[in-house]
Structure 1
Amino acid sequence: MKILIDVGFWGFVQRHREYRQKIISHYQPVHKELYTMQAAQFFVPSFLKAINENTEDSFRSIMAEPAPGIYTFEMLQPYFCELLLSEVETFERWVIETNFRIMRPNTMNRYGCVLDDFGLETMLDKLMEDFIRPMSRVFFPEVGGSTLDSHHGFVVEYGTDKDSELGFHVDDSEVTLNVCLGKQFSGGELFFRGIRCDKHVNSETQSEEIFDYSHVPGHAVLHRGRNRHGARATTSGCRVNLLLWCRSSVFRELKKYQKDSSNWCGECQREKKERQRQSIAATKLELLKRDGKPTS
């Protein structure tokens, strides 16, 4: 049997590997302590305690769930935020000074950088595996929360002289961690509008799915990547956020064969409930007809 190889894809993988290696071999980090996980220095004690206890009760003790499936909690020490902001600023200066052309985090953000590209991949892997996956196993099992095995880690920057807002979209992730690093800013609220599968991504929003969130430095938002959202304009100052798109190859493979997404898509759930309601109504009507009772 002849095996067909997608040369274009593997060519991209090889080019990206070379691109990343070129950065890592030339860029000199200024805060080397960032590049290995130092949990006690990075995270607030309440977050660490909850992770160490590793129970749903311990997670919920530090969290608010202001809307279904959206969790907010204090996470990062100011020390870590300052260090990461400084490292990103240093990296961006290096990019300008060396005239190095970098890949931006995604197609929607013109400012910010991919943290994995300049050496932080191992630390962010640890963040996903030891801190985000335990919570996702509890709160997002239906979208592969227990099998998260890869990530895309980056920072985005918003301000009057940068991207000011972010359009309505879904993330290329099963679970998204979004943490504000600072600095001084106003505006920039996140707005959520409900979880959708590909089929229903443009369907109407229900009133119970509407939620707006105001960023607080050091505080995290954890949500399903398919929860439709955007960011309102940052009207003054500069806002920088750390994002970790966490992915599950197992879930993505299984999803190829699933026709029903009603265990996580809000619109699929509504359609399923409506079908059940109609089926029950039809059954009742049929029973009434058999009994000879009036149906109106």
Structure 2
Amino acid sequence: MNTYGAVLDDFGMETMLDKVMEEYIRTISKVLFPEVGGSTLDAHHGFVVEYGMDRDLDLGFHVDDSEVTLNVCLGKQFSGGELFFRGVRCEKHVNTETQSEEIFDFSHVPGRAVLHRGRHRHGARATTSGNRINLLLWCRSSVFRELRKYQKDFSSWCAECQREKKERQHQSVSAAKLELLRGGETAT
């Protein structure tokens, strides 16, 4: 995805990142993201990326290969590079239309971190000046990934699955009302 970056485990940082995941991210994710395995995070992929005029400028619309992602803006002076989020989706619905209530833009500044579901569709706008450097930690749950293989309904976290479920319920209620009205007509 990125041309300018480095995998931190390749530089001997695996143990430190394990501790960050276990002591901080899993603790927070247990509360914020239980429906995607937040309490069972057991693996990670940590890396840094750099954006700038002579680097990658932006990062297109995507989802991460994680259950929970930590994105820390490490620094340097830069303009642009805003993060944009467009709703959480399961694999089946990843390319569906964005609803207006799902639009969220965030100006990432040095020293700040964002913690989000990996399936939250997002991207980074172009860095228009300076250099933006980010540390990313994709946290994964082998338990959640195994359960997901057998699951068909992701309405506990996928916004499109939730909409489809509500629509099915609405249609079911409408059909039941119609049936009741028809039954009342034939009884008279």
TM-score normalised per structure 2 = 0.98
Following TM superposition, by how much is the alpha carbon of 1:253 offset from its aligned partner in structure 2, in angstroms?
0.3
Structure-1 residue corresponding to 2:181: 288
Structure-1 residue corresponding to 2:49: 156
Alignment partners' CA distance in 1, 2:161 and 2:152:
10
Q: How does 1:131-210 map to 2 (within 5 A)?
A: 131-210=24-103
Following TM superposition, by how much is the alpha carbon of 1:282 offset from its aligned partner in structure 2, in angstroms?
0.5
Structure-1 residue corresponding to 2:157: 264
| 1:96-124 Cα distance to aligned partner (Å, 9 max, x none) | xxxxxxxxxxxx10001011111000000
Q: How does 1:102-141 map to 2 (within 5 A)?
A: 108-141=1-34
Structure-1 residue corresponding to 2:139: 246
Is 1:220 the counterpart of 2:108? The answer is: no
Q: What is the total number of aligned residue pairs between the two structures?
A: 186
Alignment partners' CA distance in 1, 2:138 and 2:106:
19
Alignment partners' CA distance in 2, 1:216 and 1:161:
20
| 1:163-219 Cα distance to aligned partner (Å, 9 max, x none) | 000011000000000010001000000011111111111000000000100011111
Higher relative contact order (CA 8 A, sep 6+): 2
Alignment partners' CA distance in 1, 2:82 and 2:109:
10
Alignment partners' CA distance in 2, 1:218 and 1:130:
19
Q: How does 1:230-245 map to 2 (within 5 A)?
A: 230-245=123-138
Structure-2 residue corresponding to 1:22: none
- Opposite residue 41 of structure 2, the aligned amino acid is L
Structure 2: gaps (5+ residues): none
Runs of 4+ in 1 over 3 A off after TM superposition: none
- Opposite residue 277 of structure 1, the aligned amino acid is H
TM-score normalised per structure 1 = 0.62
| 1:58-94 Cα distance to aligned partner (Å, 9 max, x none) | xxxxxxxxxxxxxxxxxxxxxxxxxxxxxxxxxxxxx
Identity percentage of aligned residues:
81
Q: How does 1:93-104 map to 2 (within 5 A)?
A: none
Higher strand share: 2
| 1:30-68 Cα distance to aligned partner (Å, 9 max, x none) | xxxxxxxxxxxxxxxxxxxxxxxxxxxxxxxxxxxxxxx
Alignment partners' CA distance in 1, 2:111 and 2:140:
23
Alignment partners' CA distance in 1, 2:112 and 2:127:
17
Q: CA RMSD in A?
A: 0.8
Following TM superposition, by how much is the alpha carbon of 1:266 offset from its aligned partner in structure 2, in angstroms?
0.7
Following TM superposition, by how much is the alpha carbon of 1:269 offset from its aligned partner in structure 2, in angstroms?
0.5
* Structure number, greater radius of gyration: 1
- Opposite residue 263 of structure 1, the aligned amino acid is S
3-state DSSP of counterpart to 1:217: coil
Higher helix share: 1
